[in-house]
């Protein structure tokens, strides 16, 4: 059974917390993880790039010269794609890059990500995520007591305005609610710090069955 270091609200280690095998101890599926990360990054794309075609470029309504008799090539519009200032052929147009993924695959990807982090010993559980005052130095002090260095993901069941204010200026530290978790953020974190309530909710939602 996987375990995670358990800390109190002051950041002092109090023991270990047993994690459920069906959430934090499943076989890691690399293919599903890759697909989930690609999907997440694709869904972040705005897809708003656009260029004008020859029908949208201003001007070019009049034929520049007559069809025959000038010795020059026949031209219908000065906004032809082969002319400077003309329209663009097959250029980018607004589109959606969103990718779909079945619910079971999304759940498996999250469980694989959690299992990978638990296997690395990168999952830490804190009784409750609290900061006395919403100051960056207080957040840094708490993270140091939890031995969190580099990219850190804080996961809670409910929003905490004081914590969000305190960490917003710390590079590499992100805050996420349980319902907004994604595979990319979990894998990108060097350490995942979750409240005890968040762990219980994750196990309840992602678990295959009630623990015996």
Taking the complete model, does pTM exceed 0.95, yes or no?
no
Q: Give the confidence band of 113 by pLDDT, cuts at 50, 70, 90.
A: very high
The pLDDT, as a whole number, for residue 209 is 58
Longest CA–CA span in the chain (Å) reads: 94
Q: Give the confidence band of 187 by pLDDT, cuts at 50, 70, 90.
A: very high
The pLDDT, as a whole number, for residue 192 is 95
Q: Give the confidence band of 10 by pLDDT, cuts at 50, 70, 90.
A: confident
All CATH 3.40.1370.10 domain ranges of the chain, comma separated, are 3-39+101-206
> Which own/partner contact pairs does 207-211 have at CB distance under 8 Å and 24+ positions apart?
207/20, 207/22, 207/23, 208/22, 209/22, 211/20
Beta bridge partner(s), residue 15: 6
More confident residue, 70 or 133: 70
What homologous superfamily is domain 3-39+101-206 in, according to CATH? Ribosomal protein L4/L1 (3.40.1370.10)
Contacts of 54 (CB under 8 A, 6+ apart): 60, 77, 79, 80, 81, 86, 87
- What is the tens place of the pLDDT at every residue in 12-30? 888 889 999 999 999 999 9
Whole-angstrom distance, CA of residue 200 vs CA of residue 79: 63
H/E element, 99: none
Beta strand residue intervals within the chain, DSSP E? 3-7, 13-18, 123-126, 152-156, 173-177, 191-195
Whole-angstrom distance, CA of residue 82 vs CA of residue 86: 7
Q: Give the confidence band of 100 by pLDDT, cuts at 50, 70, 90.
A: very high
Whole-angstrom distance, CA of residue 59 vs CA of residue 203: 63
How many CB atoms neighbour CB 49 within 10 A?
A: 11
């Amino acid at each position: 059974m996987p375990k995670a270091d358990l800390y109190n609200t002051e950041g002092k280690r109090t023991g270990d917390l047993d994690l459920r095998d069906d959430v934090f101890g499943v076989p890691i599926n690399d293919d599903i993880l890759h697909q989930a990360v690609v999907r997440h990054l694709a869904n972040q794309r705005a897809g708003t790039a656009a260029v004008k075609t020859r029908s949208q470029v201003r001007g070019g309504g009049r034929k520049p010269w007559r069809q025959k008799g000038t010795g020059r090539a026949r031209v219908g519009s000065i906004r032809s794609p082969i002319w400077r200032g003309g329209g663009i052929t097959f250029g980018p147009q607004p589109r959606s890059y969103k990718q779909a993924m079945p619910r079971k695959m999304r759940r498996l990807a999250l469980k694989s990500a959690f299992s990978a982090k638990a296997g690395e010993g990168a999952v830490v559980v804190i009784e409750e995520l609290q900061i006395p005052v919403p100051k960056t130095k207080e957040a840094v002090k708490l993270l140091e007591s939890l031995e969190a260095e580099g990219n850190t993901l804080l996961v809670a069941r409910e929003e905490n305005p004081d914590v969000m204010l305190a960490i917003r200026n710390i590079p590499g530290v992100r805050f996420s609610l349980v319902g907004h978790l994604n595979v990319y953020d979990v894998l990108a974190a060097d350490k995942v710090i979750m409240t005890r309530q968040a762990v219980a909710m994750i196990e309840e939602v992602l678990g295959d069955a009630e623990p015996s």
